[in-house]
Amino acid sequence: AQSVTQLDSQVPVFEEAPVELRCNYSSSVSVYLFWYVQYPNQGLQLLLKYLSGSTLVKGINGFEAEFNKSQTSFHLRKPSVHISDTAEYFCAVSLSYSGAGSYQLTFGKGTKLSVIP
Amino acid sequence: DSGVTQTPKHLITATGQRVTLRCSPRSGDLSVYWYQQSLDQGLQFLIQYYNGEERAKGNILERFSAQQFPDLHSELNLSSLELGDSALYFCASSVGAREGETQYFGPGTRLLVL
């Protein structure tokens, strides 16, 4: 089974400051990694995903994440945040191979990012 | 807008009742996933359908069931409702059932059981 740990439940940060949201995962098999964002009263939107190749993945809205296999981490970063980035961010994993053809997502508990003017 | 629609947006009902949540996937998507988001359990996978057939089950209670119809829309049926079933229920769709595919989430149905 896979599990995802998001180490910070809440992260306050001033506008235009950098931010890092931490994600660690545990799995006995190879997984793919995802970051989703949930704005208030909305569904989840994909920010970025890591499947293979370069360990630095760039996503939408200026976010990027780095896959670190040895540390089983997939931290999300943004060099300068805006008020509009205030939202909840979810890290997730899915199997990279499933004989049953099912690739459901296993989510972390989420990190609420609050950008302070 | 992800292209995934869910109805109703809000649902208030009483314990012991039965409700049906509806999901229409993005045009052309064959896979539908259902997730439950609650304060204590977080986001959890419930069940997946692919082209009308059940593909995988997660932490879905026996009181809950789902199906996917020939037009690919899906319904999640929740019966004998309990207070603890109050949650946000999301539907997501993907093109197929392949590794690494992006799942597109609908806006969710917020269920309140009183």
- Whole-angstrom CA distances from B91 to A21, A61, B4, B11, B68 are 26, 24, 8, 15, 12
Q: What is the DSSP letter of A46?
A: E
How high is the pLDDT of residue A99? Answer: 72
Tell me which chain B residues have a C-beta less than 8 angstroms from the C-beta of A32.
99-100
Beta strands A106-107; A87-95: pairing state: antiparallel
CA distance B106 to chain A (A): 6
Q: Which residue has the higher pLDDT, A103 or A71?
A: A71
Work out the pLDDT band at B98, boundaries 50, 70, 90.
Answer: confident
What is the separation of C-alpha A113 from the centre of its chain, rounded to a whole number of angstroms?
12
Q: What is the mean pLDDT of chain A?
A: 93
* pLDDT > 80? residue A96: no
Mind listing the pLDDT tens digit for each residue in B41-83?
Answer: 999 999 999 999 999 999 899 999 999 999 999 999 999 999 9
Q: Does residue A97 carry a pLDDT above 80?
A: no
Question: Given CB atoms, is A9 within the 8 Å cutoff of chain B?
Answer: no
Residue A17 has pLDDT above 80, yes or no: yes
Q: What percent of chain A has pLDDT over 90?
A: 79
Q: Output the CA–CA distances (angstroms, integers) from residue B109 to A39, A42, A68, B67, B85, in the order listed.
A: 15, 10, 36, 17, 12
Residues B7, B53: Cα–Cα separation, whole Å: 22
d(Cα B106, Cα B97) in Å, to the nearest integer? 18
- Nearest residue in B to A35, CA atom: B102
* Distance of residue B52 Cα from the nearest chain A Cα, in angstroms: 14
Cβ distance B42 to A108 less than 8 Å, yes or no, reads yes
Whether A6 shows a pLDDT value over 80: the answer reads yes
* A117/B contact by beta carbon, under 8 A: no
Q: Do A108 and B50 touch (CB under 8 A)?
A: no
State the pairing for strand pair A111-116/A10-14: parallel
What is the C-alpha separation between B40 and A27, in angstroms, rounded?
23
pLDDT band at A13 (very low <50, low <70, confident <90, very high): very high
Predicted confidence at residue B103, as pLDDT, reads 95
In chain B, DSSP assigns E strands to: 5-7, 10-13, 19-24, 31-38, 42-50, 53-57, 64-68, 74-78, 87-94, 104-105, 109-113
Rounded distance between C-alpha atoms, residue A94 and residue B100, angstroms: 8
- Chains A, B: CB contacts within 8 A come to 66
Q: CB distance B43–A97 less than 8 Å?
A: no
Q: What is the pLDDT of residue B96?
A: 86
Tell me how close the Cα of B92 comes to any Cα of chain A, in angstroms: 9
Please name the residue that has the structure tokens 């180490």: A7
What mean pLDDT is predicted for residues B76-92? Answer: 97
Mean pLDDT, rounded, of chain B: 95
Does B2 contact A at CB distance below 8 Å?
yes
The CA distance from A16 to the nearest CA of chain B, in Å, is: 27
Distance CA A73, CA A68 (A): 5
**Cβ within 8 Å, pair A110-B42:** yes
